[in-house]
Structure 1
Amino acid sequence: MNALQFAQVAKDHFEAIAPKNIINGYEKFVVTDGVNCLIVRSDYRPKAGEFVFHCSIKNGIPCAELYRTGKAKEAPQAA
């Protein structure tokens, strides 16, 4: 999965929970692993394989902007 696909998952979740009568100003941070989504605070540190998106409604259009990514686990170093 690439970042655009993760963004679509986060945006779909955001659209499902967003009030339908708001044109501007509604925003949330959404973390996703590509399947599951959760609303988090801006200081959330994602785990490896997770992406945090800043989702908002601008001029009636929901959008998701990449905010933070989880660090990939480093491979063990050979001695």
Structure 2
Amino acid sequence: MTVLINDWYTKSHAQLKGLLDSGKLFGWLNGVLINGKSGKEASNAPVFTMKPGKTYKYRICNVGMKTTLNFRI
């Protein structure tokens, strides 16, 4: 199972590129996405459902641009 963790900015890619090209930083991120979901969505359905006695293999990928995010189980 793959888990993608990403930082989220409300600025467009053109605005972010302009900031980097001018030597400025992005500033604080506006949120965190895990597999494309923010956690603020109306559905609280689990992303993964596991069964007792089974073994699961997860691949955790930080695909963020700036922020290093830590993931713990």
TM-score bin, normalised by smaller chain: 0.3 to 0.5
Higher relative contact order, chain-length normalized (CA < 8 Å, sep 6+): 2
TM-score (norm 2): 0.32
* Structure with higher strand content: 1
* Structure with higher helix content: 1
TM-score (norm 1): 0.31
